[in-house]
């Protein structure tokens, strides 16, 4: 500020921006490192090692989960379905034996009494097995088991009362037997059949799920192999060397894992498919035929007990026995020699039933009763016992095929879960051994 007389003169100073100097930008070493060849090699190595370890872990988890499903199927789900079938069959046999015991009048034959007691014991054992095997979260199965157990005690009490009255010659025994048979046919057996159907569906669903290929394991393993090949191409261009031994070893290990996965998956899937086509499917079919045969036997004995007065029992017998013949005929046409004996036994039983009906129609109730409960080879009881034994043998054979297939599927995966982890770790070491020498060249 200058003073000229009384006036003050002020001069403003302005900043010349052309004289400003910008401060040096902050250096970022990590960006420079990543942009350099050593940095890129480091990132590549870390990424490949991580991918190798992740591939081993993912493949191991996928195979382990598949193996666990197969193990649960063969040690839990299938035995539970088998116990449900045994429960139904034993209950049906017990009801038929209880009805048969009244045909003779008075004290029932020892063979019939023993058959009833054995069937009730088998049903109790099957009920315990099924109760121990069912999951606590399976509310439907628990409800059905509770229903069967609750009504079984009522049924055995009614049968015991009926037998006591029958021995004493009291006609009311037939009424008690009718109530017991109605309880069995209308409540207990339908609940047992629903339990078997539900457990059989669980077996089929688990087999279908177990037959699927482990896609996640295939995808990550194939992706790792592609990444290793691309990494070798990149290093070949950077280092002017055609082969990187470490990455070659890692690629071979990954290819080995991929081939192992494919082979094990194919063997496992084939074994499960065999268990389903050669075991589970015909097993379900022949089990259904056994259930129908037992229903037909109950119809036969009930019709005889009513002395042919109820035509519905004979109609039901004809429908059930024809259904058994159709099922066994389809199994035989599918190339199942196991059912040949069952078909022959069915023909014999139907012949005995026709003879029984002829005597009953002629008013020969004593002759019909002797044919129904007699111990001779031509008796209806003996013919049905032969049919039931043939069906039971067929069930055991088909079940053995199913269990063998599931065991083969489990064995095919037994080492792969651990092998995947080992290969993943070895692959990571191989990648490190291939990348590290290239990094040392820049130090």
24-77: per-residue pLDDT in tens? 445 566 565 555 666 677 788 889 999 999 999 999 999 998 888 888 888 888
Residue with tokens 């015909």: 282
Provide φ and ψ at 135, rounded to 5°.
Answer: -75, 145
Burial class (CB in 10 A: 0-12, 13-18, 19+), 230: exposed
pLDDT of residue 13: 55
> Do 443 and 74 form a contact (C-beta atoms < 8 A)?
no
pTM: 0.77
| Per-residue confidence band for 258, with pLDDT thresholds at 50, 70 and 90 | very high
> Do 93 and 115 form a contact (C-beta atoms < 8 A)?
yes
Nearest to 167 by CA among 121, 104, 122: 104
Q: What is the rounded distance in angstroms from the CA atom of residue 173 to the CA atom of residue 183?
A: 15
Q: Does the pLDDT of residue 254 top 60, yes or no?
A: yes
Residue 182 DSSP label = H
What is each CA distance from 350 to 160, 207, 355, in whole angstroms? 31, 37, 9
CA atoms within 13 A on the CB side of 298: 26
More confident residue, 443 or 152: 152
More confident residue, 438 or 390: 390
- Mean pLDDT of the region 154-175: 85
Q: Does the pLDDT of residue 281 top 60, yes or no?
A: yes
> Do 22 and 420 form a contact (C-beta atoms < 8 A)?
no
Q: Does the pLDDT of residue 423 top 90, yes or no?
A: yes
Instruction: Quote the percentage of the chain above a pLDDT of 70.
Output: 86
More confident residue, 220 or 338: 220
Work out the angle at residue 266's Cα, subtended by the Cα atoms of residues 264 and 269, and round it to the nearest 5 degrees.
Answer: 105
Burial class (CB in 10 A: 0-12, 13-18, 19+), 343: middle
| Per-residue confidence band for 148, with pLDDT thresholds at 50, 70 and 90 | very high
């Amino acid at each position: 500020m200058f003073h000229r007389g009384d006036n003050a003169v002020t001069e403003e100073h302005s900043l010349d921006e052309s004289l400003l100097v910008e401060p040096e930008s902050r250096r970022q070493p990590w960006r420079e490192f990543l942009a350099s060849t050593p940095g890129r090699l480091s990132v590549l190595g870390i990424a490949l090692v991580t991918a190798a370890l992740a591939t081993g872990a993912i493949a191991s988890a996928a195979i382990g989960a598949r193996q666990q499903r197969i193990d649960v199927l063969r040690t839990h789900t299938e035995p539970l379905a088998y116990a449900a079938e045994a429960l139904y069959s034993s209950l049906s046999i017990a009801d038929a034996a209880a009805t048969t015991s009244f045909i003779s009048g008075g004290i029932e034959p020892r063979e019939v009494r023993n058959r009833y007691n054995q069937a009730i014991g088998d049903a109790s054992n099957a009920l315990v097995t099924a109760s121990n095997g069912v999951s606590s979260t399976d509310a439907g199965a628990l409800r059905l088991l509770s229903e069967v157990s609750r009504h079984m005690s009522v049924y055995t009490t009614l049968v015991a009362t009926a037998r006591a009255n029958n021995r004493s010659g009291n006609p009311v025994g037939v009424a008690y037997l009718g109530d017991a048979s109605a309880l069995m046919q209308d409540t207990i057996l339908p609940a047992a059949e629903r339990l078997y159907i539900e457990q059989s569906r669980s077996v089929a669903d688990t087999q279908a799920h177990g037959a699927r290929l482990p896609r996640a394991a295939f995808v990550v393993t194939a992706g790792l192999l592609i990444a290793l090949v691309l990494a070798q191409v990149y290093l070949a261009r950077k280092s002017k060397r055609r082969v990187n031994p470490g990455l070659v070893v890692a690629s071979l290990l990954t290819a080995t894992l991929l081939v192992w996965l494919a082979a094990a998956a194919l063997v496992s899937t084939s074994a499960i498919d065999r268990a389903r086509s050669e075991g589970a499917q015909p097993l379900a079919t022949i089990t259904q035929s056994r259930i129908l045969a037992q229903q037909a036997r109950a119809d036969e004995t009930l019709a005889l007990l009513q002395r042919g007065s109820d035509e519905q029992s004979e109609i039901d017998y004809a429908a059930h026995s024809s259904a058994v013949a159709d099922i066994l005929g389809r199994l035989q046409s599918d190339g199942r020699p196991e059912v040949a004996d069952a078909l022959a036994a069915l023909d014999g039983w139907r012949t005995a039933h026709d003879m029984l009906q002829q005597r009953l129609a002629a008013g020969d109730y004593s002759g019909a009763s002797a044919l129904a409960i007699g111990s001779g080879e031509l008796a209806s009881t003996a013919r049905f016992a032969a049919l039931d034994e043939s069906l039971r043998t067929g069930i055991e054979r088909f079940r053995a095929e199913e269990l063998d297939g599931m065991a083969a599927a489990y064995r095919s995966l037994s080492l792969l879960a651990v092998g995947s982890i080992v290969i993943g770790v070895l692959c990571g070491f191989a990648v490190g051994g291939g990348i590290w020498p290239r990094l040392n060249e820049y130090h």
